[in-house]
């Protein structure tokens, strides 16, 4: 198996654009949750979200933008940021050896809503001819490949909230097995829309802390009442180790393990004992042939839902035993909300940055820790050099994906 390293980070998040801005905001404990501005949410029970503040015209042609749903726009911006961060010029790469694997949990929700309204009010003949290619989930990977002429394997992961991690794991395998020397991998999501917010709200999955947006996402606390919808994209450059060495690339971390599993339990709730989550973590450790005691940090799925946080803590305790009390565990979602299909990718970036910089990002809003969830949730940023770190992603339908990174 070939070694795979991370050489570029592209972060488009509610608290910062670009890897460095995202890192600084995490360490400052900045919250990206605020009242929704993208549409009038006054009639909805949930009126807060973590929106991205970006002008797409700074990165993409205005004419091109009209033919791209926001989830694709975000992916293209994150890919550009990742390539720039990696010091890569696409024209200098062998296009047949570069792959793209950027997933999404929801896809073109904004386009779907807009064109559904056109269909209902004006008839089928007035639907945009770009409706389908704007909406379908594979277009994030496809447009990145088309923009840069990358002809290597191009695929899409769609595993709900596990999508970003799943995409990175699958890209890891591509490079390991020699299908590509370099893959742009990650996740993207732009589902802050009236229907999506309304739908998650009626499921009672979202926090209703409308009066205190910045405190609404509060994983592992006694007062947690649901997740906060976020949006954005994360793209990582995964590169074969020798390929990276030859060009003198900066190496952030090495990808050493990937584990997947199914809860086989419920359409939305995790297994109450975290059985599927534990299996995915064990498989990531087994894949890397790493003992649990070697892991120092876990970037938790940590959504701020009562059942989800509890199941994840039980899973961590099952896998790590007594070592669980020595682990540092934090939730990026406490600051950026839940980016759905992009969550795992952005959180993988946070995990890699923790290893690279030697600073563990905090869990924000940990004001009233749940006494039943008794791990070290890192309420403030902490300097710590750890050798291995896990990034957890668990999805509706019980689809789980876990990544294991090693400090280089």
The model's pLDDT over 163-207, given as tens digits with 9 standing for 90+, comes to: 999 999 999 999 999 999 999 999 999 999 999 999 999 999 999
What's the mean pLDDT in 283-293?
98
**Whole-number pLDDT of residue 1:** 87
Q: What would the two tokens of residue 176 be?
A: 């390991």
Q: pLDDT for 379-392, tens place per residue?
A: 999 999 999 999 99
Q: pLDDT for 45-102, tens place per residue?
A: 999 999 999 999 999 999 999 999 999 999 999 999 999 999 999 999 999 999 999 9
Q: Do the Cβ atoms of 271 and 277 come closer than 8 Å?
A: yes
Q: Which domains does the chain have, with CATH numbers?
A: 4-246 (3.40.47.10), 257-406 (3.40.47.10)
What's the mean pLDDT in 35-45?
97
**Whole-number pLDDT of residue 218:** 98
Task: Give me the percent of the chain exceeding a pLDDT of 70.
Answer: 100
What's the mean pLDDT in 160-165?
98
pLDDT over threshold 90, residue 142: yes
Cα dihedral across residues 275, 278, 282, 283: positive or negative? positive
pLDDT band at 119 (very low <50, low <70, confident <90, very high): very high
Catalytic residue positions? 161
Instruction: Give this prediction's pTM.
Output: 0.98
Which residues lie closer than 8 Å to 313 by C-beta, 6 or more apart? 220, 274, 372, 373, 374, 375
What's the mean pLDDT in 367-386?
97
């Amino acid at each position: 198996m070939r070694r795979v390293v991370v050489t570029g980070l592209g972060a488009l998040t509610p608290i910062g654009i670009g890897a460095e801005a995202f890192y600084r905001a995490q360490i400052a404990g900045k919250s990206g949750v605020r009242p929704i501005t993208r549409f009038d949410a006054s009639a909805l029970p949930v009126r807060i979200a973590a929106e991205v503040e970006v002008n797409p015209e700074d990165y993409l042609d205005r004419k091109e933008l009209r033919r791209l749903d926001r989830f694709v726009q975000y992916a293209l911006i994150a890919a550009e940021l990742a390539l720039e961060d990696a010091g890569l010029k696409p024209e200098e790469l062998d296009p047949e050896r570069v792959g793209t694997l950027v997933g999404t949990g929801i896809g073109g929700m904004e386009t779907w809503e807009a064109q559904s309204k056109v269909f209902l009010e004006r008839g089928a003949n007035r639907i945009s001819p770009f409706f389908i290619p704007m909406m379908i989930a594979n277009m994030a990977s496809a447009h990145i490949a088309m923009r840069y002429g990358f002809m290597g394997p191009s695929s899409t992961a769609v595993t709900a909230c596990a999508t970003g991690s799943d995409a990175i794991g699958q890209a890891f395998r591509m490079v390991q097995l020699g299908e590509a020397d370099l893959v742009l991998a990650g996740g993207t999501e732009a589902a802050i829309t009236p229907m999506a917010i309304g739908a998650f709200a009626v499921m009672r999955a979202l926090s209703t802390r409308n009066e205190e947006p910045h405190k609404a996402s509060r994983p592992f606390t006694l007062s947690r009442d649901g997740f906060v919808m976020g949006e954005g994209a994360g793209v990582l450059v995964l590169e074969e180790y020798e390929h990276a060495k030859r060009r003198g690339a900066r190496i952030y971390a090495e990808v050493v393990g990937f584990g997947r599993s199914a809860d086989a339990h419920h359409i939305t709730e995790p297994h109450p004992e975290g059985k599927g989550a534990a299996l995915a973590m064990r498989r990531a450790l087994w894949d890397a042939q790493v003992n649990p005691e070697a892991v120092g940090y876990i970037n938790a799925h940590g959504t701020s839902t009562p059942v989800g946080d509890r199941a994840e803590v039980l899973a961590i305790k099952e896998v790590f035993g007594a070592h669980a009390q020595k682990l540092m565990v934090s939730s990026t979602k406490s600051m950026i909300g839940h980016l759905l299909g992009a969550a795992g990718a952005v959180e993988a970036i946070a995990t890699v940055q923790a290893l690279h910089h030697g600073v563990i990002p905090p869990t924000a809003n940990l004001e009233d820790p749940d006494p039943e969830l008794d791990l070290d949730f890192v309420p403030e940023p902490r300097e710590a050099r750890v050798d291995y770190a896990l990034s957890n992603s668990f999805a509706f339908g019980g689809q789980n994906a876990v990544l294991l990174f090693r400090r280089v």
